Amino acid sequence: MKSLLIIMAVFAISLSSCAQGKKEASVEFATTDSTVKHQISDALGIYYQIKDALVSGNGKAASAKAKEFEAALDAVDMKKMSAQEHNFYMPLQEKLAYDAQHIKTAPNIDHMREHFGAFSNNVWKLIKAFKANNGPAYQQYCPMQKASWISKDEAIKNPYYGSQMPTCGKVTDTLK
């Protein structure tokens, strides 16, 4: 009987942890400073250029744009963020900088694409939380790569396979 209660307690704690993890992933701030929104939106524009470079197989352009993305992250005025926004942004900024650095310095486009999945997921969290997309943003998913990316167009242009499988994928979420 005791072991059944212990198992049920562990199960309840596990469910609670899962629910908290999902809650964290869907953070959205009610009032974000317009300057901060604009700066994050600028970073999103650069992200789209990285994605387009990977779609076309242009590793040199992806690398250059990843460098610009790092600079855009550094330019975000954290002094204009609330404490809650700042606490959300800092760990996410570190993850984004890590992946941007790897995309920038990768020896080949395949390695860039390896980091692009995590990079895309974190950009999605960022723009969703700060409501920083100026137009529709589509989260798209490649079942072959088991990875997502963001596009400003609903049409699929797969950055993971480029010209090999350009239309492989589907829209999984949309921010208007």
For the beta sheet containing 170-175, the strands, ordered from the edge strand earlier in sequence to the opposite edge, are 147-151, 137-142, 170-175
Work out the number of other CB atoms within 10 angstroms of the CB of residue 88.
19
- Give me 175's structure tokens: 């921010």
Vertex 115: Cα angle to 110 and 116 (nearest 5): 90
User: CA 122 → CA 5, 30, 60, 118, 131, distances in Å?
Assistant: 38, 19, 22, 6, 14
| Residue ranges per structural domain of the chain | 32-175
User: CA 113 → CA 39, 73, 80, 117, distances in Å?
Assistant: 25, 20, 33, 7
Kindly tell me if the per-residue pLDDT of 142 is higher than 60.
Answer: yes
pLDDT tens for each residue of 37-72? 999 999 999 999 999 999 999 999 999 999 999 999
What's the Rg (C-alpha) of the chain? 18
Query: In this prediction, what percent of the chain has a pLDDT beyond 70?
Result: 85
Rounded to whole angstroms, the Cα distance separating 78 from 90 reads 9
Vertex 115: Cα angle to 158 and 140 (nearest 5): 30
Please state the pTM of the whole predicted model: 0.84
Kindly tell me if the per-residue pLDDT of 1 is higher than 70.
Answer: no
